[in-house]
């Protein structure tokens, strides 16, 4: 099996590689060849014996996508994207990376022809939805995004579904909820504070909360996100039908409930490292985001996530902090 991962240097890409290494392959199949690409150099994964190709490349540039699919990868995890905050502050760069890069990849697959039909798992986002919302948002709720990033994801979901319908690929669109707790340094995602208010205090650092404590979101851990992608690769066209894009499950809670979970898991001293400092830019973006979802279809298809935010914090401590934290 040949697996291609775009955006492999990003957090979810790294977590996916850890999962593949831990499993020793993809869903029971040995990975003979692994191609990793990103706009910065992706790191070679530990624990995988596959023939490895590391490529620093920009999918929005001409001919890059053609080069990536020339050897006909069997499974493609398309993770490469500029996140929400970056897409809002740089309109042109957001469309270039998120729309043009995806279109180039899909077109390269189509042009390969000769019976080539890879499995393509695309990471979408709950940003495809826009207010006003029902209490719980189903997969078929109208897509009216209120951010550029959400618009990019809607367009790319539609392209994926059309290329899938035309038989050029076997696609699955995985709408990720808030992935929390993200390890490492903050990125340009407007949602970064959801992780920051947990990650920094556990590392002994002070941090700020830019929104009110009644802001609600649905969360899943990076471990769960990697699991979503791996499971998506197992789904057949018969299971999916034509509705190939769906929202992943997670834990729905308020920011205040996140902080209460942090206090239960790590104690008062850790939780008190969070201070409140409203940020109008972040608040404006967040107010247009959905928060609660009906993920019945994803669960029926076998996707699973954590059952509490306490569990999400414990996963972060176990996976990224070596089992301990700064008290």
Would you name the residues annotated as active-site residues? 149
For residue 106, whether the previous peptide bond is cis, meaning omega lies within 30 degrees of 0, is no
**Half-sphere CA count of 260, side-chain side, radius 13 A:** 8
Please tell me the distance from the alpha carbon of residue 26 to that of residue 180, in angstroms, as a whole number.
Answer: 24
Question: Which residues contact residue 106 at a Cβ distance below 8 angstroms, ignoring those fewer than 6 apart?
Answer: 120, 159, 160, 163, 168, 169
Task: Using alpha carbons, select from 156, 148, 166, 90 the residue that is nearest to residue 288.
Answer: 148
Question: Which residues contact residue 318 at a Cβ distance below 8 angstroms, ignoring those fewer than 6 apart?
Answer: none
* 109, 116 contact by CB (below 8 A): yes
As given in the structure block, the two tokens for residue 225 are: 């996100």
Distances (CA, A) of 173 to 50, 152, 301: 26, 13, 13
Task: Using alpha carbons, select from 149, 148, 159 the residue that is nearest to residue 108.
Answer: 159
* 298, 247 contact by CB (below 8 A): yes
Please tell me the distance from the alpha carbon of residue 15 to that of residue 10, in angstroms, as a whole number.
Answer: 9
Helix pair 309-320, 192-202: axis angle to 10 deg: 60
Distances (CA, A) of 231 to 47, 185, 191: 20, 28, 25
């Amino acid at each position: 099996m040949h697996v291609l991962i775009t955006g492999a240097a990003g957090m979810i890409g790294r977590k996916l590689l850890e999962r593949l290494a831990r499993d020793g392959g993809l869903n029971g199949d040995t990975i003979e060849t692994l191609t990793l690409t990103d706009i910065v150099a992706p790191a070679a994964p530990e624990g995988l014996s596959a023939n490895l190709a590391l490529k620093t490349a920009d999918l929005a540039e001409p001919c890059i996508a053609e080069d990536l699919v020339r050897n006909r990868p069997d499974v493609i995890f398309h993770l490469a994207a500029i996140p929400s905050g970056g897409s809002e502050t740089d309109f042109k760069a957001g469309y270039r990376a998120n729309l043009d890069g995806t279109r180039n990849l899909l077109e390269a697959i189509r042009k390969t022809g000769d019976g080539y039909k890879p499995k393509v798992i695309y990471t979408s986002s709950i940003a495809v939805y826009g207010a006003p919302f029902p209490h719980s948002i189903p997969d078929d709720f109208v897509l009216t995004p209120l951010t550029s990033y959400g618009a990019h994801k809607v367009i790319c979901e539609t392209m994926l579904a059309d290329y899938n319908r035309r038989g050029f690929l076997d696609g699955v669109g995985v709408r990720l909820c808030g992935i929390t707790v993200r390890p490492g340094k903050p990125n340009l995602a407007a949602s970064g504070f959801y992780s920051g208010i947990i990650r920094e205090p556990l590392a002994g650092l002070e941090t700020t909360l830019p929104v009110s404590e009644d802001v609600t979101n649905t969360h899943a851990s990076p471990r769960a996100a990697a699991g979503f992608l791996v499971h998506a690769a197992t789904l057949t066209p018969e299971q999916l039908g034509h509705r190939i894009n769906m929202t992943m499950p997670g834990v729905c809670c308020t920011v205040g409930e996140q902080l209460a979970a942090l206090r239960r898991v790590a104690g008062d001293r850790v939780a008190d490292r969070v201070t409140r400092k409203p940020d109008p830019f972040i608040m404006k973006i967040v107010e247009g985001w959905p928060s609660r979802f009906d993920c019945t279809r994803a669960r029926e298809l076998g996707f699973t996530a954590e059952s509490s935010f306490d569990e999400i914090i414990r996963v972060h401590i176990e996976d990224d902090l070596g089992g301990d934290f700064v008290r």
